[in-house]
Structure 1
Amino acid sequence: MDLDLAQVRAFVLAAEELHFGRAAERLSISQQALSKRIAALETRLGARLFDRGGQGVRLTGPGGRFLDPARRALAAGELAAAAVTEVRRPLRVDVWGHLYAPMRTLAQVAARDERLELELGHGRDLPSVSAALLHHEIDAGFGRVHPPLDDGLTHRLVRLEPVDAVVSAGHPLAAEPYLRPDQLRGSVLWTPGPLDRLDFLRRFADRFGVAGHAGGPNLGLDHFAARIVADPTFFSLFPADSALPEIPGIRSIPLLEPTPLYAWSLLWRREETGHLLDPLLAAVVEEGRRNRWMEYDPRRDWLP
């Protein structure tokens, strides 16, 4: 069966918006023209893709099953056109991360390889990054991968990042040159978001017996630091090689015996062709060798 990609695109946008008017605006066509494209596609497929009732627009069963393959068809069409026209576009990479490593990682990589053309995005969490990948909204993203990972995605571990404990100058352990993680049992773990959505911090608390925790919105580094300074019982974790905001009364203390490591992976779609991602992967791997990003010793490190 031959599919008209203009009709497929109209269907995908209508499925994302669940509103024909907004989908038509995104395509810069009239709502009538959008409806005609979707009706023609339904005729071609021999199936109704939407329910249009008094409660709005909803996908039918066949429409729901068609959505992901339709997105893949559009992406394949774009790749096919690019191969003929040799049009280059930036690699769309999401740099979400509550420990801020992806942005610093890409900055180091891009500084050494000026050929990389990157367009950066900012997701909310790993599920939102995964959804953006599956919807072909981005080409790659960063995250700490832990089961389950969607079957349509794959990943490569690219950086193991040591973390320090961050406390206020009034914290009882603030004068220590370094800390063992279990010394923080009597402190309160402050998290930039709900603990149940921050798998690494939750596992840290469980592994080292930290019973107290408090959460708040992720409003950036200054808020992160100010919140810890405001309560001498609080602590949090922060990348060891990243500078904290210049806020009086905050201290970063190395964690040893063991050193917790945060594992960053680069994620992409399994179906993705190599020519788009290979330059970025090669650059990240080379930068990792140069900076020893993948060093791990189970005798001294903790890697959940």
Structure 2
Amino acid sequence: MDLDLALVRAFVTTAGTLHFGRAAEELNTSQQALSKRIARLEELLAVRLFEREGGTRLTEAGERFLPAAREALAAGERAIAAATGAVPVVRIDTWGHLYAPMRTVAQAVRAFGPVRLEPGPGRDWPSVAQALLRGDTDLGFGRVHPLPGGREAELTQRLVRLEPVDAVVGPSHPLADARALRPDDLRDSTLWCPAELTRLDFLRRFADAFRITRRQDGPNLGLDHLVQHIRADAACFTLFPADAPLPDHAGLRSIPLVEPTPLYAWSLAWREPSRHPLLDTLLRGFTEAGRARRWLDYTPQRDWLPDTDHAKLAAHSGLGLGVVDNGRQDDASSRP
């Protein structure tokens, strides 16, 4: 039996929407033509892939067929690229630009194979979520958090990295000479937020959790502006990923936080009905990089995550994606 990839694509799109009308719109065809393709595929396979009474849903055979069907489409894309010399394009929007999200993507990209990423200018998570829902981008990368109206429920999320954050202070800050700090040590300092605090979910939750009442926010004018503000104000500190680069000339101190160590959760997000054929390849790349670099190491007695991130951690731990409780002792020098 030879599988017609046009029929397979019709099945995968319909499985993603569970609605023949919306699937036909995505494929730019009529609902009648789509139904004929699905019927032809079911005839070739001699199995029923969809139940159509009382709403559209996959049969057991359809559930079994779906992962392999997606792989078949991805293999077809790779075959076309190999024959034509073209490189498949995946549009990816990132946010949290001060924290340099593309450095994590770059470390995972080596495992992608022949895939070309097309970065997009995401302003923040709400704007990227809207772009994903509209179909303006294929993939989002950054820190996800609850959105008004629960709009994030329409998107699929995959936790890929938990990154320790440091306290960054200027040379005249009273704690500038510390080798390590506890979050509680910062209560007499002012948390500088390089954007409106209502848009910075992680910093707001950190300040609430550790009762840091002195907070300042302002417009996001880039990394240089952040550096100048911290360097000039001896009372201020901010949080910055331990692996993210600060300018060499800044004269700032980046001090590890311990007991507990706050972790910044990086995730991928996509819209399942518009799932890119090469998404599974990309996910494998992030998984391989994460295992090699221990991106998902987590110890409850040592680390801190906002409450909203715990559900993602538990869900992805259950998927066997490498989230571990390794029982290490609190030690700034042993952090991932």
What are the residue-to-residue correspondences of 1:121-160 with 2, within 5 Å? 121-147=120-146, 148-160=150-162
- Residue matched to 2:244: 242
- 2:91 and 2:253 map into 1 onto residues whose CA distance is 36
Structure 2 residue runs without a partner (length 5+):
1-19, 35-73, 82-86, 307-336
* Counterparts of 2:262 and 2:249, CA distance in 1: 25
CA contact (8 A) 1:97 1:142 kept: no
Q: How does 1:130-209 map to 2 (within 5 A)?
A: 130-147=129-146, 148-209=150-211
Aligned match of 1:221 in 216, 219, 223?
A: 223
Aligned partners of 1:185 and 1:122: how far apart in 2? Answer: 35
* 1:272 Cα deviation after fit: 3.0
Partners of 2:91 and 2:23 lie apart in 1 by 16
> Which residue in the other structure is 2:95 paired with?
96
Equivalence for 2:232: 230
* Alpha-carbon shift at residue 101 of structure 1 (Å): 4.5
The percent of aligned pairs where both chains have the same amino acid is: 56
Contact 2:230 2:237 in 1 (8 A): yes
In the alignment, is the contact (CA less than 8 A) between 2:112 and 2:281 conserved in 1?
no
Residue of 198, 204, 214 corresponding to 1:212:
214
How far residue 169 of structure 1 moved from its aligned partner, in angstroms, is 0.4
- Candidates 238, 242, 251, aligned match of 2:253: 251
The alignment's TM-score, normalised by the length of structure 1, stands at 0.71
Question: 2:304 corresponds to which letter in structure 1?
Answer: W
> Where does residue 23 of structure 1 map in the other structure?
none
User: Structure 1 150/243 Cα, relative in aligned 2: closer, same or farther at 3 Å?
Assistant: closer
1:298 correspondence with 2:249: no
Decide which structure has greater strand share. Answer: 1
- Structure 1 counterpart of 2:200, which letter? L
What is the alpha-carbon distance in structure 1 between the residues aligned to residue 235 and residue 196 of structure 2? 19
Structure 1: 5+ residue stretches without partners: 1-68
What root-mean-square deviation, in Å, do the aligned CA atoms of Structure 1 and Structure 2 show?
A: 2.7
Task: Give a deviation string over 1:6-27, Cα, whole Å, max 9, x none.
Answer: xxxxxxxxxxxxxxxxxxxxxx
Q: Which amino acid in the other structure matches residue 170 of structure 1? A: S
Question: d(CA) in 1 for partners of 2:298 and 2:284?
Answer: 21
Partners in 2 of 1:282 and 1:168 — Cα distance?
A: 40
Displacement of 1:98 after TM fit?
4.2
Displacement after TM superposition at 1:105 (Å): 1.0
Equivalent residue number for residue 9 of structure 1: none
Is the CA contact (8 Å cut-off) linking 2:135 and 2:274 kept in structure 1? no
SS in 1 for 2:281: helix
